[in-house]
C-alpha cells in the first residue's frame, strides 16, 4: 500500500490547488451523469452520492464507514440524509479539512484496523482509494491478490450479514509491463504516460480489471457493476487544468 508519506505527498499538493477551485468537501472521483451531460459537475456529483447511498440500502440513522474518505463529500452526504459517517484517510490534511467541516474523520490505515477501533457498520463505501491499496513493491512480489483479499476480509468483519460494500476504483484495461514504464520513453506513449502517473501517485498499482477484484472478494457477491469513461475529467480540466488517466470501474457488492 502507498505509505502515509506518499499519500500526503500527492494529496497535500491537491489540497492547495483543488480545494480552492472545487470547494471544501470536493469530490476527487468521477461524477454520475447517467447520460445527461447537461448536468453541472456539482449536480452530477450529488447524483453520484444519491446513487451510492441507494446502492448500500442507506436509511436514516445508519452507520457508514468511508475508507479513503478524502475531503469528506460522502461523509457530508451521509450526514445530510440523517446518517452517521465515519471516515478514515492516510492524509492528515484531508482529515483536518473534514473536521473543519464538522465531519468525523480519522488518520487511520485500514490495514491496522479492527472491529475494536470503531465498532461495526451498517454499510461501507470506498471511492477512489482502492487503487492505492497495493504498492508497486507488493505487486512485484506477487502479493496483489493477498492485499485485496485482506481488504475484503476486513470489510466482512465490519459488516452484518448481507451488509453492503460500495467500491469504486480505476483498473488497468490492458496489463502494462512494469519494466517498460519509463520517463525516458517517448512522450505520449503509454510507457511515458504511466510513468508520469506513477510519479504523481507514488506507491500505488492498479488492479487488473474487475476480474481480479471479483476473485478476491471473499464472502462478497457482486450485485451491480458499472464501467464508465472518465466523463468528469473534462469539467475538471476546464476549471483547474488537471488530467488523470485509466478506466474507472464501480462495484456494488453485498456480503453473503
pLDDT surpassing 70 at residue 188? yes
Q: What mean pLDDT do residues 166-195 have?
A: 78
Fold of 4-255: Rossmann fold (3.40.50)
Q: Which three cell numbers stand for residue 95?
A: 482529515
Q: Compute the mean pLDDT over every residue in the chain, rounded to the nearest whole number.
A: 81
For the stretch 34-80, pLDDT in tens is: 788 888 878 888 899 999 999 999 999 999 999 999 999 999 999 99
**Residue bearing cell 499538493:** 13
Q: Which three cell numbers stand for residue 212?
A: 481480479
Helix (H, G, I), strand (E, B) or coil at 84: strand
For the stretch 90-107, pLDDT in tens is: 989 899 999 999 999 999
> Residue 187 — pLDDT band, cuts 50, 70, 90?
confident
For the stretch 17-46, pLDDT in tens is: 666 655 555 566 677 877 888 888 788 888
Residues 166/126, Cβ–Cβ less than 8 Å: yes
pLDDT surpassing 50 at residue 251? no
> Residue 8 — pLDDT band, cuts 50, 70, 90?
low
Q: How is the chain split into domains, by residue range?
A: 4-255
Q: Which of 198, 199, 206 is nearest to 134 (CA)?
A: 206
For the stretch 113-133, pLDDT in tens is: 999 999 999 999 999 899 889
pLDDT surpassing 70 at residue 157? yes
For the chain, the helix, strand and coil percentages under 3-state DSSP, each to the nearest 5: 45, 20, 40
125: which residues sit within 8 A by CB, 6+ positions away?
52, 56, 64, 65, 66, 67, 74, 165, 166, 167
> Residue 256 — pLDDT band, cuts 50, 70, 90?
very low
149: which residues sit within 8 A by CB, 6+ positions away?
216, 218
Q: How far is CA 37 from the centre of its chain?
A: 23
Nearest-angstrom CA–CA distance, 12 and 17: 9
Nearest-angstrom CA–CA distance, 176 and 115: 37
Q: Higher confidence at residue 31 or residue 165? A: 165
pLDDT surpassing 70 at residue 254? no
For residue 9, give Cα distances in angstroms to 31, 32, 100, 117: 25, 28, 21, 26
pLDDT surpassing 60 at residue 249? no
Q: Give pLDDT, residue 244.
A: 30
Q: Which long-range contacts (CB under 8 A, 24 or more apart) does 145-152 make?
A: 145/212, 145/215, 145/216, 147/1, 148/207, 148/212, 148/213, 148/216, 149/216, 149/218, 150/111, 151/110, 152/216, 152/217, 152/218, 152/219, 152/220
End-to-end CA distance of the chain: 27
Q: Give pLDDT, residue 22.
A: 57
Nearest-angstrom CA–CA distance, 201 and 68: 15
Amino acid at each position: 500500500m502507498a505509505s502515509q508519506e506518499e499519500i500526503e505527498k500527492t494529496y497535500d499538493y491537491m489540497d492547495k490547488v483543488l480545494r480552492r477551485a472545487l470547494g471544501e468537501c470536493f469530490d476527487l472521483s468521477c461524477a454520475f451523469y447517467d447520460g445527461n451531460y447537461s448536468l453541472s459537475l456539482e449536480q452530477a456529483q450529488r447524483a453520484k452520492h444519491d446513487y451510492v447511498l441507494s446502492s448500500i440500502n442507506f436509511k436514516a440513522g445508519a452507520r457508514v464507514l468511508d475508507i479513503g474518505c478524502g475531503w469528506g463529500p460522502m461523509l457530508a452526504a451521509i450526514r445530510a440524509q440523517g446518517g452517521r459517517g465515519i471516515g478514515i484517510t492516510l492524509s492528515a490534511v484531508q482529515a483536518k479539512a473534514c473536521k473543519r467541516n464538522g465531519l468525523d474523520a480519522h488518520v487511520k490505515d485500514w490495514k491496522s484496523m479492527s472491529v475494536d477501533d470503531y465498532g461495526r457498520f451498517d454499510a461501507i463505501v470506498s471511492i477512489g482509494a482502492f487503487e492505492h491499496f497495493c504498492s508497486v513493491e507488493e505487486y512485484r512480489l506477487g502479493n496483489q491478490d493477498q492485499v485485496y483479499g485482506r481488504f475484503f476480509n476486513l470489510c466482512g468483519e465490519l459488516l452484518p450479514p448481507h451488509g453492503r460494500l460500495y467500491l469504486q476504483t480505476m483498473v488497468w484495461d490492458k496489463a502494462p509491463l512494469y519494466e517498460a514504464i519509463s520517463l525516458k520513453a517517448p512522450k505520449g506513449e503509454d510507457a511515458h504516460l504511466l510513468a508520469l502517473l506513477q510519479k504523481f501517485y507514488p506507491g500505488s498499482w492498479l488492479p487488473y480489471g474487475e476480474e481480479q477484484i471479483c476473485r478476491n472478494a471473499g464472502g462478497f457477491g457482486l450485485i451491480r457493476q458499472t464501467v464508465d469513461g472518465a466523463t468528469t475529467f473534462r469539467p475538471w480540466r476546464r476549471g483547474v487544468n488537471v488530467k488523470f488517466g485509466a478506466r474507472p470501474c464501480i462495484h456494488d457488492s453485498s456480503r453473503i
